[in-house]
Structure 1
Amino acid sequence: QGGAGAIPSVFDAYLTARGIKTLAVRMDRHCDNAEAIARHLQQSPKVKAVLYPGLETHPGHEVALRQMRRFGAMISVRFHDEAAARAFCLATRLICLAESLGGVESLVEHPATMTHQSVTGSTLEVPRDLVRISIGIEDLDDLIADIDAALAEVE
């Protein structure tokens, strides 16, 4: 007689109903922050590439324009090498290092050594210089200050 199954608990349903009321406002803030941060990261010489569908430089930008109202809160960043990517992830303070991305808080991960470590050496291997950042709803100036401080730690 376990409590597992496809039916959510009453409390889970309550939290969903409560959270849905502010979803649009939260998503607007996520997207506003992500768009600004993607553009900010593009300006850094320590960054090799920023992969974000809201940027005109993204290969899927035109498709995203047709299919999306906004471009989401996930940003992928390529650094010049793995050491720089790892240094960035370890240097953020406001943006927390985590494997599960997508909350209201900003989170960062190094997929090659975290979520995708098991595919190393296979055709599914991710670039070792790649960092993923899930941009949250914190104050934009605070997020940019944290990113700039972390970039200062990157060789």
Structure 2
Amino acid sequence: MKMPLLLLIAIVVVSLSRGNGEQTDLTRETFPAGFVFGTASSAYQVEGNALQYGRGPCIWDTFLMQPGVTPDNSTANVTVDEYHRYMDDVDNMVRVGFDAYRFSISWSRIFPSSYGMCPQQAILVDPPWEVVEKDGGAKSLELDESQGNLTS
């Protein structure tokens, strides 16, 4: 994963450091065959609808509800509403020419109350608030046998 990023950085640095005053445009042809152009998003940053469709509160919801955490006391309850607008987003990615899209789905949307679940893939970062609250706060996120069912 580091090699493609390093290659991209090297190409940009070389392109921008040409000393002959000649402008060089970056195009797909500038990159090696098979290079994948993509974009990514994080569920909490773009999903929205934090209070709808059965999603349970996650650790980030609870954190942002504390006064003064953000300058304007904003939360991510709405965001850019990718939950409803995902087709527009995908259409825009196709129009721009992206080859890939990496996205996440909020753990607390899949399992609003996670006890007793057994996911097939690891789902991390924003555990349901119930897990953190019941087990004693952020320290409870250390994985032990009592929480082994939260990861795979």
Q: Verify same fold: TM over 0.5.
A: no
- The two structures have a TM-score, normalised by structure 1, of 0.28
User: Which structure has the greater CA radius of gyration?
Assistant: 2
Of Structure 1 and Structure 2, which has the larger fraction of its residues in strand?
1
* TM-score of the pair, normalised by structure 2: 0.28
